[in-house]
Amino acid sequence: MKCQGKLPFQIFPGIFSSIDSMTKKVVAVHYQKYNRVPDWLKPFGPLGEPLPVPHHSKFQTLDTKTNCLLTGTPDALFRRPDGTLVILDNKTSRFTNNQDKLLPMYATQVNAYARIAERIGMGRVSGLGLIYFEPLTDVDASTIDSVVLDNGFAMKFNAKLLPLTLEPKSIPPLLRRVRAIHDLPTPPDGWTGCKDCLLLDGLVKIETSPKTKTSRI
């Protein structure tokens, strides 16, 4: 909010965007050909038709009580046969203990998407979930022929599904907290061990330190 939506730094590797794009195309093309989603999505129940994901400039809602604009871009939207929505988010990662620690943040993320979808009139949300696409990296003589291509090699991914609980009441208190932090005259102290906090502290030190001449060696 302070930066008007422009982050001072971005550390998201581009390769993950390519994998994410491929994942979405696989689901869309599979539905076009077979009129159903891939089997790995079955644990989420009947998902129906995958929907086009709106651009973040369209997928947003203003909370009038805090004047906070809530926006984002969900990875996948589905319209169930009963007309309700399912919102899923993809993670290109193995589900580890560290990923488990991040679940509260991810749950907030998809619940925020649910709030936006309902507020902009897309329909009632009936399901949320995460899909961890875990890379399969074990190769031996029995599988090598399915991996090696004429111009490279193919990497397979295993889909691990994790349903999340709909918690619509969890978002308003967080928006109030966002507004309270935004209105502080100075940034609050960061969490101990937070890498993003350390990066931000480094930027602040660079910006506020006396300008000195540097020598090229």
Decide if 9 is inside a domain.
Answer: no
Phi/psi of residue 107, each to 5°? -65, -40
Angle at the Cα of 143 from the Cα atoms of 139 and 147, rounded to 5 degrees = 80
Locus of tokens 């979808």: 117
Residue 2 lies inside a defined structural domain of this protein: no
Separation between Cα atoms, residue 93 and residue 160, nearest integer Å = 10
Structural domain containing residue 61: 14-208
- pLDDT at residue 9 in the model: 65
Q: Is residue 7 part of a domain?
A: no
| pLDDT for the residue 163 | 92
In a domain, 181, yes or no: yes
Phi first, then psi: give them for residue 87, nearest 5 degrees.
-115, 125
The pLDDT of residue 198: 86
Which pLDDT score, from 0 to 100, does residue 94 have? 80
Rounded to the nearest angstrom, the gap between the alpha carbon of residue 128 and the centroid of all alpha carbons in its chain is 12
| Residue-level pLDDT, tens digit, the chain, 217 residues | 777 777 766 666 777 788 888 889 999 999 999 999 999 999 899 999 899 999 999 999 999 999 999 999 999 999 999 999 999 999 888 877 767 788 899 999 999 999 999 999 999 999 999 999 888 888 899 989 988 999 999 888 899 999 999 999 999 999 999 999 999 988 788 888 888 888 888 888 888 887 655 555 5
pLDDT at 211: 67
DSSP state, residue 39: G
Q: How many domains does the chain have?
A: 1
Tell me what pLDDT residue 11 has.
Answer: 67
Please state the pTM of the whole predicted model. 0.83
Q: Report the CATH number at residue 177.
A: 3.90.320
- Between CA 65 and CA 70, with CA 67 as vertex, the angle to 5 degrees is 105
pLDDT of residue 129: 94
pLDDT at 216: 52
Domain assignment present for 216: no
Residue 76, in any domain of the structure:
yes
The CA distance from 184 to 187, in Å, is 7
